[in-house]
Amino acid sequence: MEPPPSNPPITDRSASGDHALPHRPLRLLVVMPSWVGDAVMATPSVRAIRELLPGSFIGALVRPGIDELLSGTTLFDEMHVGRASGVMGPKKLAARVRPRRYDTALLLTNSFSTALITRLAGIPRRIGYERDGRGVLLTERLEAKRRRDVEPYKRSATAPNDWAPVPACEYYFELARHLLRHAGLSPAPTATPSPMELAATADDELGAAEILERAGIEREQQHRQNLAILNPGGNDPDKRWPTDRFAQLADHLAQAHGMIVLVSGSPAERPIADEICAQCAPTTRTVNLPALGIRLGTLKGIVRRCKLMVTNDTGPRHIAAAFGVPVVTLFGPTDKRWTTIPFKDEIEIDADPTLPEEEVANDHPQRCRVSNIALDDVINAANTLLSGATLR
């Protein structure tokens, strides 16, 4: 997951003021978030735009990997893939985008560099949150509020000038609402983000099936009744639940539910997966996915086959939710209110459920250590979801 974006309630402050006439984009570029979880959380906003602008050409600017994540969906007509690395990075990406002659750019990112790309690409209308000193590059700026201005955070003396947590899905949806309102097509004021969405392509499905076969799982065993997936990694080591507890959880899933336990992670997280698999009981059947060379596409196909995911607060959580896979999410020193998602079959477990509501977990890393989460609490949550108990 991306470090928490500044996604508080917003104030619409357009540099050009309110449009007297609707401005309907004919060629729209959506600059997508760079992190997996954030990109998935942006899909409800893009879907709203896609449905309300059916005749518009909608392109996306994405970093490498996010194109694979979003492949198979019908959200975009084209994806431009690249990184704005180095001094000349923004100029090179702008040159790639410029031939499409976009009339509007919607920046779901917060960075200066992405705003610069859209400016260098000659896109006349550029909409985004005023952050990172990039206001001069935007033609329509949305302003975020500080904790001191928002309940319940204004009741706390901790970091009053920091941003107030609001779920990223809502943060992106406010940008979509602004765009659509000025096009005369705004969703109803009470509208909320739709479910997140992803799709697995035929290549994703084939790759997933082949990886599981290499692990000794025949195709007739590759269905939700048999498979659980653990996601023990995360970009921040402080967000990672201890590996020995993941191993004990895997043992429980195997012994109590007869499940094959898949241990996921990026290539860089293979040592974590190695450690968990090594600590499991000899009778627990585990599959070390990083050792088999998974990529984002095959991960989609694998996650879609699972009955349960247990994960730290990181990107694969959102992949599971997008495919309707029940998920137990463990929250440590990152406040869950940054990433609340429109998904009912999830049990969230906080490291410190007694933290006052006006406090933000990010400000209390010791009190909110993810290691405070007890194994029994995670086992009970997993049992609840595997029992088929409805959370709706």
The residue-averaged pLDDT of 114-138 equals: 95
- Write out pLDDT tens, residues 42-101: 999 999 999 999 999 999 999 999 999 999 999 999 999 999 888 888 999 999 999 999
Domain count, the chain: 2
Give the model's pLDDT for residue 329: 98
Asked, for residue 198, whether it belongs to a domain, the answer is: no
Domain that holds residue 246: 203-386
Residue type, 69: L
At residue 244, the pLDDT reads 98
Position 152 pLDDT exceeds 80: yes
Task: For residue 365, give the amino acid letter.
Answer: P
Place 389 in a pLDDT band, splitting at 50, 70 and 90. Answer: low
Average pLDDT score, the chain: 92
Q: Is the residue at 127 inside a domain?
A: yes
Residues 156 and 233 both lie in one domain? no
Please give the average per-residue pLDDT across 264-279, as a whole number: 96
Residues 168 and 97 in one domain: yes
Asked if 228 and 366 sit in the same domain, the reply is yes
Give the residue ranges of DSSP H helices in the chain: 36-41, 43-52, 66-70, 89-97, 112-120, 168-182, 202-214, 243-257, 270-279, 296-303, 315-322, 375-386
Residue 309 is assigned to a structural domain of this protein: yes
**Region 338-357 average pLDDT:** 96
Whether 240 and 159 map to the same domain: the answer is: no
pLDDT of the residue at 21: 53
pLDDT of residue 392: 42
Q: In this predicted structure, what is the pLDDT of residue 198?
A: 98
Most confident of 21-25, 191-195, 386-390: 191-195
pLDDT digits (tens, 9 = 90+) for 208-240: 999 999 999 988 878 777 999 999 999 889 999
Kindly state whether residues 220 and 349 are assigned to the same domain.
yes
CATH code for the domain in which residue 75 is found? 3.40.50.2000
Model's pTM, two decimal places? Answer: 0.92
In this prediction, residues 356-372 reach a mean pLDDT of: 97
* CB contact at 8 A, 276 and 243: yes
340 lies in some domain = yes
Is 147 in the same domain as 21? yes
Q: Are residues 89 and 231 in the same domain?
A: no
